[in-house]
């Protein structure tokens, strides 16, 4: 399939998903649960069961935190009654999971390599190449950073609580962002050097 058509289909899928499930059926719990089930099945078919569980494990701290906030709001009936916050929490948490997994599936289907076939100049293609490299670096480094943070003595001491897990995820996220920014600078300079030598394109 031509990259233009592939990009068009992915864009249409995102638009349909957003319009129907983020707007029209946002407050419909049965529809949200059905969509979540379909997206999880599609994700299991795409990433296999082990890959799906691994991705859900990475999202789990943020999902639990979000659900915990809604639970506290419902328990103390902050601003609204308990039923409102229970309904609100279920729909938003379910939508968050299905949206994250659906985007992950689309990313695997719309590979960055397909953009290289677009009729673009080398000065524009270099950003696509850099994006592909950073995407791989981010996903390959995440588990290593988690292992590194787990090995810190301060993180091993004491009881593991939800607050501690969330703080650890924030540390990993900050480290990942810093690492990716540094890699973007380094890899960007390397790409510019190769363009200059191979294509004689001035900086």
- Domain identity same for 59 and 105: yes
Nearest one of 3, 194, 197, 193 to 112, comparing CA atoms = 3
In this prediction, residue 112 carries a pLDDT of 63
Half-sphere exposure of 20 (CA within 13 A, CB side): 12
- Domain identity same for 74 and 6: yes
- Residue located via tokens 């290593």: 144
| 22 neighbors 95 (Cβ within 8 angstroms) | yes
- Domain identity same for 12 and 101: yes
In this prediction, residue 198 carries a pLDDT of 75
In this prediction, residue 26 carries a pLDDT of 92
Of 48, 75, 110, which marks where a domain is finished? Answer: 110
- Report d(CA 135, CA 116) in Å as an integer: 16
- Domain identity same for 66 and 10: yes
Q: Domains in the chain: how many in total?
A: 2
In this prediction, residue 188 carries a pLDDT of 86
In this prediction, residue 163 carries a pLDDT of 73
- Domain identity same for 79 and 100: yes
- Domain identity same for 71 and 131: no
- Domain identity same for 5 and 101: yes
All residues at 6 or more sequence positions from 171 whose CB lies less than 8 Å from its CB, including other chains:
149
- Domain identity same for 154 and 94: no
- Domain identity same for 93 and 8: yes
In this prediction, residue 118 carries a pLDDT of 67
- Domain identity same for 91 and 148: no
Question: Would you give per-residue pLDDT tens digits along the chain (203 residues)?
Answer: 666 777 788 889 999 999 999 999 999 999 999 999 999 999 999 989 888 888 888 788 778 878 888 888 888 888 889 999 999 999 999 999 999 899 888 888 776 666 666 666 777 777 877 887 887 788 778 778 888 888 887 777 767 776 777 778 788 888 888 988 998 898 888 888 887 777 664 44
In this prediction, residue 196 carries a pLDDT of 78
In this prediction, residue 67 carries a pLDDT of 83
Task: Determine the structural domain holding residue 43 and report its residue range.
Answer: 1-110
- pTM of the predicted model as reported, rounded to 2 decimal places: 0.67
């Amino acid at each position: 399939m031509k990259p233009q058509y592939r990009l068009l289909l992915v864009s249409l899928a995102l638009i349909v998903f957003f319009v129907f499930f983020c707007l029209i059926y946002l407050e419909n719990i049965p529809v949200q649960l059905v969509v979540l089930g379909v997206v999880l099945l599609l994700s299991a078919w795409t990433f296999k069961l082990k890959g799906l569980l691994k991705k859900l494990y990475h999202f789990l701290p943020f999902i639990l935190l979000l659900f915990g906030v809604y639970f506290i709001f419902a328990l103390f009936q902050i601003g609204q009654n308990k039923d409102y916050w229970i309904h609100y929490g279920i729909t938003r948490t379910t939508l968050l999971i299905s949206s994250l997994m659906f985007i992950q599936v689309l990313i695997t289907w719309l590979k960055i390599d397909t953009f290289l076939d677009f009729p673009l100049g080398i000065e524009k293609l270099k950003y696509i190449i850099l994006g592909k490299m950073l995407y791989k670096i981010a996903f390959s480094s995440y588990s290593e950073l988690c292992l590194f943070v787990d090995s810190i003595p301060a993180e091993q001491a004491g009881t593991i609580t939800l607050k501690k897990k969330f703080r650890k995820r924030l540390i990993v996220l900050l480290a990942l962002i810093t690492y990716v920014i540094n890699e973007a600078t380094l890899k960007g300079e390397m790409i510019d050097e190769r363009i200059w030598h191979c294509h004689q394109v001035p900086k």
